[in-house]
Amino acid sequence: MFSKSSEYAIKAMIYIAQVSDETKKIGVVAIAKSIDAPQPFTAKILQILTKKKLLRSIKGPNGGFYLTKADLQKSVAEIIYAIDGRVPFNTCVLGLHNCSEDKPCPLHNEYKSIKKDIINMIEKNTLADFMEKLNAGEVFLKTFQ
């Protein structure tokens, strides 16, 4: 459903939320390994998230990536929009270039309500929400160590 870049970005942010804070930073090598992503690709994604102020980083021997408590209030939508923009939600589900309200594809009208629900879901769910559910054992992503 989401691009591979967005998937990696979401997983990276959840991992960073689980293992870091303002006193403990995590490096790109550990992040890439934990989310099963190529290191250069992960570095590029983390650079984008940092530039968009969704993630914090410090350079140097004691540096790395981290999130503050305030950062945990970022929505999943903010992560996806930082990586892919709104393109995934503004295109035809069948990839047709001329699909519109006036000339809908066969799935247009049904997908419109599904797309609205997906947008609502990603905009209302924050990293803190995910962390709460993961910590309570209500959901499973991966046990990051």
- Count of residues in the chain: 145
In the 3-class helix/strand/coil scheme, how is 95-108 assigned residue by residue?
A: CCCCCCCCCCCCCH
Q: What is the pLDDT of residues 21-49, one digit of tens each?
A: 888 999 999 999 999 999 999 999 999 99
Q: Are 14 and 6 in contact (CB under 8 A)?
A: no
pTM score, two decimals? 0.88
What is the fold, at CATH topology level, of the domain defined by 4-135?
A: Arc Repressor Mutant, subunit A (1.10.10)
Q: What is the pLDDT of residues 99-140, one digit of tens each?
A: 999 999 999 999 999 999 999 999 999 999 988 888 888 887
- How far apart CA 1 and CA 60 sit, in angstroms, is 36
Nearest to 75 by CA among 119, 37, 117: 119
Locate the domains of the chain by residue range: 4-135
